[in-house]
Chain A
Amino acid sequence: MTIRLLAFSLLLLASLLLTQAEAATCSCAGAPLLSSIDSSSTEPGDFFFNYTTEFHEMSDLVEGTKDIRDESRRERSSTSQVVSGTYGLADRWSVSGLLSYIEHSRSVGTSFLGEQNTSGLGDAVVLLRYTPSYITPFSRHEVSLGIGVRLPVGKDDAGGLIVQSEDMQPSVGSQGEILWSSYSYAFNQASTLQLNLSANYTFNNEENDRNYSFSDEFNFAVGISQSIGTRFGYSAGLRYRTTDADERNGFEIPNSGGEWLDFVPAIQYGISDDLTLSLSGRVPVARDLEGALQFTTSYSYAFSMTYAL
Chain B
Amino acid sequence: MKNRTLCFLYAQLALAAFSYSGATQAQSAHLEGTTLVLPVVTAADKTFRLEFSLDTNTSPLQISLISAVELSNPDSIDTNNANSFIGTTLSIPDISVDGASFRADFTLLSENPIIFLLADAAENGIQAPENTPNACSRPAPDLSHGPNNAAVVSGFSVDPSKIQDGGPAPDGIPPLTNPQFTQNLELTGIFPDSLVVGVKVGDDIRAYPHQILDWHEVVNDTFTVDGQQQQMTLSYCPLTGSAMMWKGFAQSANKTFGTSGLLLNSNLVMYDRETNSLWSQMLEQSIRGSAVLDIPDKVQVVETTWETWQAMYPETILMTEDTGFSRPYGTYPYGSFRTDQSLIFNVDNMNDLRLHRKARVLGINVGDSSKVYPVADFGDSISLIHDQVGGMDVVAAGSATQNFAVLFNRQLEDCTTLDFTPVQDQLPVVMTDNEGTQWDVFGNGISGPRAGTKLEKTNSYIAYWFAWTAFFPGTEIN
When C-beta atoms are compared, the residue in chain B nearest to A164 turns out to be B165
B192 at the interface (CB under 8 A from A): no
Q: Is B343 within 8 A of A112, CB to CB?
A: no
Q: Is A162 within 8 A of B160, CB to CB?
A: yes
Dominant SS at the B interface?
loop
Q: Considering the complex, which residues of chain B in the window 160-198 have a beta carbon less than 8 Å from any beta carbon of chain A?
A: 160-161, 163-172, 174
Interface string of A236-264 (1 = CB under 8 A from B): 00000000000011011111000000000
When C-beta atoms are compared, the residue in chain B nearest to A71 turns out to be B325
CB proximity of A72 to chain B, nearest CB, Å: 5
Q: Considering the complex, which residues of chain B in the window 369-401 have a beta carbon less than 8 Å from any beta carbon of chain A?
A: none
Cα distance A106–B258 in the bound complex, in angstroms: 17
Q: Which residues of B contact A288 (CB under 8 A)?
A: none
Residue of B156, B262, B335 with highest tally of chain A CB at under 10 A: B335
Within 8 Å by CB of A161, from B160, B276, B332, B335, lies: B160
Q: Which residues of A contact B262 (CB under 8 A)?
A: 162
A205 at the interface (CB under 8 A from B): no
Interface string of A76-116 (1 = CB under 8 A from B): 10000000000000000000000000000011101111001
Q: Considering the complex, which residues of chain B in the window 295-346 have a beta carbon less than 8 Å from any beta carbon of chain A?
A: 324-328, 331-335, 337, 342-346
A165 at the interface (CB under 8 A from B): yes
Dominant SS at the A interface?
loop
A45 at the interface (CB under 8 A from B): no
Q: Is A249 within 8 A of B343, CB to CB?
A: yes
Cα distance A260–B166 in the bound complex, in angstroms: 24
Q: Is A110 within 8 A of B335, CB to CB?
A: no
Within 8 Å by CB of A167, from B163, B167, B171, B328, lies: B167
When C-beta atoms are compared, the residue in chain A nearest to B335 turns out to be A254
Q: Is B333 within 8 A of A292, CB to CB?
A: yes
Q: Is B343 within 8 A of A248, CB to CB?
A: yes
Q: Which residues of A contact B324 (CB under 8 A)?
A: 71
CB proximity of B262 to chain A, nearest CB, Å: 6
Cα distance A292–B338 in the bound complex, in angstroms: 14
CB proximity of A119 to chain B, nearest CB, Å: 16
Interface size on B, residues (CB 8 A): 38
Cα distance A69–B163 in the bound complex, in angstroms: 30
CB proximity of A194 to chain B, nearest CB, Å: 41
Q: Is B346 within 8 A of A211, CB to CB?
A: yes
CB proximity of A37 to chain B, nearest CB, Å: 29
Q: Which residues of B contact A249 (CB under 8 A)?
A: 343, 346, 350
Cα distance A171–B260 in the bound complex, in angstroms: 24
Q: Which residues of B contact A291 (CB under 8 A)?
A: 333, 335
Q: Which residues of A contact B170 (CB under 8 A)?
A: 108, 111-113, 116
CB proximity of A33 to chain B, nearest CB, Å: 22
Interface string of B282-296 (1 = CB under 8 A from A): 000000000000000
Q: Which residues of B contact A211 (CB under 8 A)?
A: 346
Q: Considering the complex, which residues of chain B in the window 25-77 have a beta carbon less than 8 Å from any beta carbon of chain A?
A: none
Q: Is A254 within 8 A of B326, CB to CB?
A: no
CB proximity of B53 to chain A, nearest CB, Å: 48
Q: Is A107 within 8 A of B169, CB to CB?
A: yes
Contact A112-B273, Cβ < 8 Å, known A71-B326, A161-B160, A292-B328 = yes
Q: Is A113 within 8 A of B325, CB to CB?
A: no
When C-beta atoms are compared, the residue in chain A nearest to B167 turns out to be A165
Q: Is A252 within 8 A of B335, CB to CB?
A: yes
A293 at the interface (CB under 8 A from B): yes
Contact A292-B331, Cβ < 8 Å, known A69-B326, A71-B325, A167-B167 = yes
Q: Is A161 within 8 A of B258, CB to CB?
A: no
Q: Which residues of B contact A76 (CB under 8 A)?
A: 169
Cα distance A251–B164 in the bound complex, in angstroms: 17
Cα distance A220–B384 in the bound complex, in angstroms: 62
A-B contact pairs, 17 of them (CB 8 A): A71-B324, A108-B168, A110-B171, A111-B169, A111-B258, A112-B271, A112-B273, A113-B260, A113-B271, A161-B156, A163-B164, A165-B167, A210-B346, A251-B344, A252-B342, A292-B331, A292-B333
In the complex, besides A71-B325, A72-B325, A162-B165, 14 extra interface pairs with C-beta distance below 8 angstroms are A107-B169, A111-B169, A111-B171, A112-B170, A112-B276, A113-B258, A116-B170, A161-B161, A165-B164, A210-B346, A249-B350, A255-B334, A255-B335, A293-B328
